[in-house]
Chains A and B, each alone.
Chain A
């Protein structure tokens, strides 16, 4: 069962981002975004969203996906949507 605290979600996002970005040493923070993270483009963005949805068993709306700019936004949205 995933840890649904903000820090817990952030920790569980790390392997997802490492796989999507093909970078085993990267550590993302709440401020990480496509602007400041190498290789994070729109294709990777979709992959990340898909992987997060499968891992946390959530479903994000299209408008919500479009509004996601940072990892922090993703953490907050996941907290809001995740089943408890």
Chain B
């Protein structure tokens, strides 16, 4: 993990935030771009050697090509495709080729495959920029400003996923003088670190080691407890990471999107996804769900139900290159579909205390029940649910 290293704070965050605040407006984007490049090279090298560090070239290439993205331009489509290509090759090559040669040796296996640092996130920001330039929803900004956007290291590794048209005004604004940003940002960072170390890492010591052998031996109560523990661990881990990223950004005087809004207390699965990994939900809504739901061939269009389930299936795949991730995504797609059908049938939800409480509990149970799919391969997950439900 990067956010618990001295290097992150002493080599990158604090020096760059101070330099940023002391620099004239024209230089500030380049401060972020340079430190972001150094950050990427440093940590990418530590994780994947020279090959990882050289992936900085992807950002530099993108900064050049993105200058061609004009409204309605075919270059925008090229930008969309290349974002998907980067993600597809690095993250999914071995997964899809293994599927193609299911049951046989994979002759196309990439044996030294590695993931460039933050690839799931920066390719989504590339895609968003190309799309929004195509539809003239954002200005292009300068090269320095775009480099600052894609190389903004507090959010590079695990989000929140930013939007250029939201980031640009904040980049151009003068950072608020005084200590407020440092106090608020510092507090947010400490909150995130506490969530990570005191809760997530503590629970990980137990939740991360459940295998098929343990599942066979454990009682149903323990398996249930594992699900609850995992639900707490994943929330503390991910929201803690987001807290650190958001707090770090605040040291620059830049506010990035919030990512969590007490998701476990929500009344239905639709509200849960509006409050969990909010920047991803927003991205998927704009760039996957809406295009799918609005897709037409002549007068034929797929039902919106297909768009719901497909979007969540894609979300699952984004989370990891594995069939169980896709299954987890589809599970949530079916939950959203079930919620929609229920709402269409029953109308507005009751405000009675019992109904509200029951809906909150049911939502939490449905979300938590899916975590086994998220963490285990399909064979192990089948064993888990069989043991949990049938003993």
Contact = CB atoms under 8 A, between A and B. Distances in A.
Given A22-B347, A63-B137, A66-B135, A41 B304 contact: no
Contact of A62 (B135, B285, B347): B135
B74 interface: no
Given A22-B343, A47-B304, A62-B135, A41 B270 contact: yes
A63 B135 contact: yes
B137 A42 contact: no
Contacts of B241: none
A23 B348 CA distance: 7
Given A62-B290, A62-B294, 15 more contacts: A22-B344, A22-B347, A22-B348, A23-B348, A42-B289, A42-B290, A43-B308, A46-B304, A47-B304, A61-B135, A62-B291, A63-B134, A63-B137, A65-B290, A66-B137
Q: For this complex, into which size category does the number of interface residues on chain A fall?
A: 10 to 19
A44 B308 CA distance: 12
Interface of A: 22-23, 38-39, 41-43, 46-47, 49, 61-63, 65-67
Interface residues of B, number: 22
Contacts of A23: 348
B286 interface: yes
A43 B312 CA distance: 13
- In the A-B complex, the 10 residue pairs with the closest CB atoms: A63-B135, A46-B293, A22-B347, A42-B285, A41-B270, A62-B294, A46-B304, A22-B348, A43-B340, A66-B286
B274 interface: yes
A49 B289 CA distance: 14
Interface string B327-352: 00000000010001001100110000
A41 B274 contact: yes
A49 B304 CA distance: 12
Given A22-B343, A66-B137, A46 B294 contact: yes
Contacts, number: 42
B267 to A, nearest CB: 11
A49 B291 CA distance: 13
Contacts of B344: 22
Contacts of B137: 63, 66-67
A41 B339 CA distance: 12
Nearest to A63: B135
A78 B135 CA distance: 18
B357 interface: no
5 contacts: A39-B343, A42-B285, A46-B294, A46-B304, A49-B294
Given A22-B343, A22-B348, A43-B304, A66 B270 contact: no
Nearest to B284: A42
Most chain B CB atoms below 10 A, which of A39, A42, A61, A66: A42
A33 to B, nearest CB: 14
B180 interface: no
B136 interface: yes
Nearest to B136: A63
Contacts of B336: 43
Contacts of A46: 290, 293-294, 304, 307
Interface in B101-148: 134-137
A73 to B, nearest CB: 13
A39 B289 contact: no
A66 B347 contact: no
Nearest to B304: A46
Nearest to A42: B285
Contacts of A62: 135, 290-291, 294
Contacts of B347: 22
Nearest to A26: B348
Given A62-B135, A65-B294, A39 B348 contact: yes
Contacts of A63: 134-137
Contacts of A49: 294
Contacts of A47: 304
A66 B304 CA distance: 16
Contacts of B285: 42
Contacts of B304: 43, 46-47
